[in-house]
Amino acid sequence: MSISEPNGSKSRPPVGWASRCFAFLSGFPLAVVLMLILFLQTWLATLEQVDYGLYATLRKYFDPRAWYILGELRLPDFMGSKALTIPMPGGYWVLGLFFLNLLLGGIVRARKGWKKVGVLTSHFGILLMIASAGVTEMTEQRGTMDFFEGETSNVAQDYHEYVVEIAERTHGKPEKIHVIRGEYLSDLQGRLAPVRTVKLPDLPFDMQFTRYAKNGRVMSINEMAPPADTQVIDNYYIFDRPPNKEAELDVAACYAKVVARDGSSLPSFILSGDAFHPHTVRVGERVFVFQMRKFLWVMPFSVRLDQATAEYYPNSTKPKRFESRVTRLENGSEAMVEIKMNEPMRYEGLTFYQRMMGRENANMATSRPYSQLEVVRNPADQWPKYALYVVTFGLFIHFILKFAAYLRKNSRPAQS
Amino acid sequence: MSGMKPMLWTRITASTILGSMLVMLFVMMVIDMNPKSELSQVKDYEPWEQASVDLVNRLPLQDGGRVKPFSTHAQFTMLRMRGDRKIKVENGKGEIFAIKPSEWLMDCVFRPTLAVQMPTFRVDNSAAIEAIGLKALGRRDRYSYQQLEEAIPKLFELAQSYEKIEEKRRDAVQKQVMDLAYNVRNYQFLIGYFGFARAAVEMKQANPDGSSRFTDMSTVMGTAPMISQMVQQSQSSGQAIPPNLQSLLQQVLDGANFAKFGLVLLPPEDSSSKDWRSAGDRIMDVMTGKVADPRTAIEEVKLLETAVRSVRISQAEFRKQFEPFVEKIAARATSRGEYRSIQAENHYNRSNYILYAMVFFLMGLLLAGSYWFLKIFEMPRWVMKTTSRASWICTTLGLLAMVTAIGMRCYIMWRPPVGNLYDTVIFICAVAVLLLLVIESFTREALAHSLAALMGLALVLLARRFEVGDAKDHMDPLVAVLNSNYWLTTHVITVTMGYAAGLLTAFLSMTYVLLYGLGLGDNLKKILKMVTTAAYGGLCLTLFLSLVGTVLGGIWANDSWGRFWGWDPKENGALMIVLWSLILLHARFGGLVKEWGFHLGSIFLACIVSFSWWHVNFLGQGLHNYGFTSGKSTIWYFYLAVVLTILFGIVLWVVEQTRALPAEKSKDSIAS
């Protein structure tokens, strides 16, 4: 186990631009620099989330659209609490380049042989881990399912995404719901945002949106005068609030307008996630309701909450056990499952976790208990576990071989 | 490693750094062993006999969500209020006694007139005392209940108003006032707990001549159905409750209220019920007709009354009267399966293995210091060998004491050894010392076990200081999400061992720099090579444990709430350790750094481990946040010490390089 003979310095200098490029991308220097940047970003993101919240910080550091970022380091009180700005490349791209570097340097270029089997295996495991993070980032869907004992549900409410729902009101109730996803609107931020028209071929009109606030409050002009150039509708306007540290508390709002097929438009109105009632518009003889709400995604089966148990340690408020006994209902068949802390229910690509427990009101004797489950759809859900097995195996083999070599080397003089 | 001849200034600097570390340890130890404990006068104080203390310690009670012995409850209650585990009193006759936690709590509940004279309340900010209208004794001082008594209404009034201020916005004085109010309130529950037993209940106009009759609470409890009937009769006839009955009920209510908190020492008879009851609860259970058969409750209260009153007679009488109660409670707790570890915990509290470990590590360190001293002056080989062996034995005994303490804690808590920050400190201490002793078995240079003694002593002191500062019972059960023996065994232990390996590695590299600076001994080159090899092995181990532990944590998080990576500060800290280890290893393999660069980077690992292990708790974010804020500034001193060592290392490296250059040049000129 000696470190006196590094092997990196012994490699032959590459010739030709392709070889040089390969050598650069697969080299130790790039690996070390990328890991240093990732180290710095992890540290700064840890500190910044205290001030800006987790969601906003992660969006800042690991947004695929950000080629570079300005990290912020707030100095401690005794150094004047100043904030230093540190420019660096975007974390998403650093991680991508690191993946490439590891693939080329740690697998393709690395020396092969039984002595290197541990290193190669652990490199492969790390690649799998980064890949699982990428798949998770791109495909993961996450929401919550709330229900009282005895209730059944087959929808989960998204954590962050607000959508516009349009439903035609027939026979006194909304039917044929159309959804405009938040991703079509979320870039319409700021007072100078463009106008966006969303075509709705199944409906007798299209929708036009002029501005979207990620965390907006519908404010009366009597309460506070609006800033210049702000659109005011019926004495109300959207006031932009700073994002919450817990991003799921943000409430979206937008200005919307119905545009009829003949090009005529009805008056603009405001849609907000915390409106008490949906907005109603009559188009010809038909009545439509519009509302903004968190996106609901439908699952291929239903879940009924049979019993919600919240147990606390005796004479204390310290939680001991949260457990939901549920029945999974699918195509007429029923299956009973217990969902506990650390023991989720995995089924058909969805995972249900115990998140919260509570009661309808403070009266413990009469109020109904409810349970909130977190529902996650992530194809790479179990990949980190497999990656861990691979990495552990690889590192274990590598270090055992190194240690054995050290022991052999040290025992030689004694034998002689 | 050319040009290894040390210069005077490098020796002075290295000695200063090493000396400062040892002095700091010594100061910490002196503070730990002799906390500020002024002698205070408690007139006519009579110490508790050991037999009385042993008897009371056998009593189980429920607190913090678990059943624990009286001794543990006493220890942490005293730590919370007073900030240490000992009070020295003088009884007015020149006799001095050291009162320990169990005796202090026994005084509070059984002899409150003596207890109120003891300086129980630690106040770190004298402005808080002035704010409640009293004259402060010192900037940081301790006050008795008697001294605070007149200002208590003002104290509660201020605390109530500060409660409305958001916790983060409260200033130091406001925090201190609130802490003091909280402690005084809890103290009042303790000193008033057996008020129902000390004072008789007055039954007005109970005698035929219209005079009052005095009786016990237990007797009143026996008449509960009759009292209830009388109250119902009054209410059904539309008349007010008679004044004598009203007075009786008020006395019962007062007695029950004072005995409601403080000591929850009565296991319920119903085996399905997990919540133990206090004496006050039992009184109210009977008086409100909640229990079908009140006989047991009445008997328990009767036993308590007799025992409490017997304190005035003699301690022998107290033991005679209190023993049946203890036996009864212990038997019921045993039948409920809740007395399993009470005796073991009493043994743990009494034996104080952590203190023994500290003493052994100190002896090991002193002997190791002697060994190196003897080595410098080239004393006879057998003397050095004996000293070194003795140091090794002491350090090993220290490790055994630590392992025994950890093992006992596991048995008492019935869970794996690490579940909170305190657990991590003692576990890291044991792992680091063990690893260094393993290194010693390979190297046999006496260096690794010397470092083991030093590191063991430093970490034991940290554990003891943290326990006093935090003043929480660290054996209390864990919250639901953490309560998984599988994950506590795998993820938590692996990550904690990773911290131990990381600190050990950094420590070895610091040793490299300091040894180089000191330049002692003939075989310095060999020792430095050995340190480098050990540090390299340590770094590999750090990487392995931290990586596996971190990913295991991710898998646990994925099973708990569906996020493999939640960017929790603690997770990020562990990732930083992994990244830094990878950076160092790859930089070394890639030839980007050599031996010096490796060691300087490795020393910086100490900062990263400290950030991950300790500093993230101050951020107030994430699941792993333990919520304490004390000792914030100390960590900056630690960072400073590490950075200074790195700077010193850089200077040594530069000096070595500049010395090496002329040598290279002269070689070249000879060659040409």
DSSP string spanning B372-384?
HHHHHTT--HHHH
Residue the block writes with tokens 């003699």:
B314
Contact: B592, A355; criterion CB under 8 Å: no
Alpha-carbon distance of B500 to B25, in angstroms, equals 19
**Considering only CB atoms, which chain B residues are within 8 Å of A314?**
62, 65, 274-276
pLDDT band at B523 (very low <50, low <70, confident <90, very high): confident
Residue B260 lies in a domain: yes
pLDDT band at B37 (very low <50, low <70, confident <90, very high): low
Which of A313, A324, A398 is most worth mutating to test chain B (most B CB atoms within 10 A of its CB)?
Answer: A313
The alpha-carbon gap from A52 to the nearest alpha carbon of chain B, in Å, equals 12
- Spell B44-83 as b/e; 16+ CB within 10 A means b: ebebbeeebbebbbbbbbbbbbbbbbbbbbbbbbbbbbbb
DSSP string spanning B131-177?
HTT---SSSSEEEEHHHHGGGHHHHHHHHHHHHTS-GGG--HHHHHH
**Considering only CB atoms, which chain B residues are within 8 Å of A321?**
480, 483
Segment B227-231 mean pLDDT: 86
Given this model, what pLDDT does residue B622 score?
57
Alpha-carbon distance of B365 to B436, in angstroms, equals 14
Contact: A28, B484; criterion CB under 8 Å: no
pLDDT digits (tens, 9 = 90+) for B244-290: 888 889 999 999 999 998 899 999 988 888 999 999 999 999 998 88
Cβ burial of B272 (10 Å; 0-12, 13-18, 19+) is: exposed
Q: How many domains does chain B have?
A: 1
Contact: B544, A399; criterion CB under 8 Å: yes
Tell me which chain B residue has its CA closest to the CA of residue A316. B65
Q: Is the Cα dihedral A59, A62, A64, A67 positive or negative?
A: positive
- Tokens representing residue A77 in the block: 């009180």
Residue B332 lies in a domain: yes
Contact: A313, B591; criterion CB under 8 Å: no
Given this model, what pLDDT does residue A6 score?
44
Per the model's pLDDT, the better-predicted residue between A156 and B11 turns out to be A156
Cross-strand bridge partners of residue B446? none
**Considering only CB atoms, which chain B residues are within 8 Å of A355?**
561
Residue the block writes with tokens 């296991």:
B267
Alpha-carbon distance of A236 to A248, in angstroms, equals 24
Tell me which chain B residue has its CA closest to the CA of residue A245. B621
Residue B289 lies in a domain: yes
Strands A152-170 and A141-148: antiparallel
Residue B669 has pLDDT above 60, yes or no: no
Out of A1, A76, A322, closest to residue B533 by CB: A1
Alpha-carbon distance of B178 to B172, in angstroms, equals 10
Which contacts (CB < 8 Å, 24+ apart) does range B92-96 have? B92/B41, B92/B42, B92/B43, B92/B44, B92/B45, B96/B39
Amino acid at B506: A
The alpha-carbon gap from A331 to the nearest alpha carbon of chain B, in Å, equals 27
**Considering only CB atoms, which chain A residues are within 8 Å of B547?**
391, 395
pLDDT digits (tens, 9 = 90+) for A249-281: 899 999 999 998 887 878 899 999 988 888 998
Amino acid at A6: P
Alpha-carbon distance of B455 to B460, in angstroms, equals 9
Out of A4, A39, A142, closest to residue B580 by CB: A39
Residue B328 lies in a domain: yes
The H helix count followed by the E strand count for chain A is 6, 18
Alpha-carbon distance of B409 to B420, in angstroms, equals 12
Domain span at residue B333?
217-342
**Considering only CB atoms, which chain A residues are within 8 Å of B559?**
342-344
**pLDDT, chain A, mean:** 86
Residue B620 has pLDDT above 90, yes or no: no
Going along B24-110, which residue ranges are E strands?
40-41, 60-63, 66-69, 87-90, 96-99
pLDDT digits (tens, 9 = 90+) for B551-572: 888 888 877 767 777 778 888 8
**Considering only CB atoms, which chain A residues are within 8 Å of B261?**
none
Contact: B582, A47; criterion CB under 8 Å: no
Segment B436-462 mean pLDDT: 92
Contact: B537, A343; criterion CB under 8 Å: no
Which of B274, B282, B567 is most worth mutating to test chain A (most A CB atoms within 10 A of its CB)?
Answer: B567
Least confident span in B126-140, B200-214, B268-282: B200-214
Contact A254, A181 (CB under 8 A): no
Least confident span in A332-346, B197-211, B404-418: B197-211
Choose among B123, B33, B17, B31: nearest CA to B352. Answer: B33
CA B354 centroid distance within chain: 11
Given this model, what pLDDT does residue A8 score?
46
pLDDT band at B521 (very low <50, low <70, confident <90, very high): low
Choose among B70, B78, B77, B73: nearest CA to B99. Answer: B78
Alpha-carbon distance of B213 to B219, in angstroms, equals 12
CB pairs < 8 Å spanning A and B: 172
CA angle B124, B125, B126 (to 5 degrees): 115
Least confident span in A250-259, B132-141, B346-355: B132-141
Contact B155, B148 (CB under 8 A): yes
pLDDT band at B183 (very low <50, low <70, confident <90, very high): very high
Contact B509, B602 (CB under 8 A): yes
User: Which H or E run contains A325?
Assistant: strand A319-330
Which of B481, B561, B577, B608 is most worth mutating to test chain A (most A CB atoms within 10 A of its CB)?
Answer: B561
Contact B338, B408 (CB under 8 A): no
Cross-strand bridge partners of residue A326? A305, A337
Contact B109, B77 (CB under 8 A): no
Residue the block writes with tokens 């470092």:
B451
Which of B544, B564, B610 is most worth mutating to test chain A (most A CB atoms within 10 A of its CB)?
Answer: B564
Tell me which chain A residue has its CA closest to the CA of residue B277. A315
Tell me which chain B residue has its CA closest to the CA of residue A406. B533
Per the model's pLDDT, the better-predicted residue between B299 and B570 turns out to be B299
Predicted-complex ipTM score: 0.84
Q: Is the Cα dihedral B504, B510, B516, B520 positive or negative?
A: negative
Strands A350-359 and B60-63: unpaired
- Tokens representing residue A17 in the block: 């631009």
Which of A10, A32, A37, A408 is most worth mutating to test chain B (most B CB atoms within 10 A of its CB)?
Answer: A32
Alpha-carbon distance of B221 to B230, in angstroms, equals 14
- Tokens representing residue B98 in the block: 């050291």
Choose among B480, B466, B359, B340: nearest CA to B412. Answer: B340
Q: What is the value of pTM for the model shown?
A: 0.85
Per the model's pLDDT, the better-predicted residue between A312 and A8 turns out to be A312
Choose among A114, A128, A129: nearest CA to A400. Answer: A114
Residue B320 lies in a domain: yes
Alpha-carbon distance of B164 to B381, in angstroms, equals 70
Contact: A388, B551; criterion CB under 8 Å: yes
Residue B194 has pLDDT above 60, yes or no: yes
Segment A215-231 mean pLDDT: 87
pLDDT digits (tens, 9 = 90+) for A308-366: 998 888 888 888 888 999 999 998 899 999 998 888 899 988 999 988 888 887 777 77
The alpha-carbon gap from A289 to the nearest alpha carbon of chain B, in Å, equals 35
Strands A253-260 and A286-312: unpaired
Residue B338 lies in a domain: yes
Residue B378 lies in a domain: no
**Considering only CB atoms, which chain B residues are within 8 Å of A414?**
none
- Tokens representing residue A24 in the block: 């650069």
The alpha-carbon gap from A187 to the nearest alpha carbon of chain B, in Å, equals 26
Say how many residues make up chain A.
Answer: 416
**DSSP 8-state class, residue A73:** E
Amino acid at B634: T
- Tokens representing residue B542 in the block: 């750090």
Contact: A32, B621; criterion CB under 8 Å: no
Contact: A313, B65; criterion CB under 8 Å: yes
Say how many residues make up chain B.
Answer: 672
Contact: B619, A399; criterion CB under 8 Å: no
Contact: B536, A2; criterion CB under 8 Å: yes
Residue the block writes with tokens 């909170």:
B420
**pLDDT, chain B, mean:** 88
Alpha-carbon distance of B177 to B160, in angstroms, equals 10
Contact: A381, B616; criterion CB under 8 Å: no
Alpha-carbon distance of B270 to B253, in angstroms, equals 24
Residue B367 lies in a domain: no
Contact: B483, A355; criterion CB under 8 Å: no
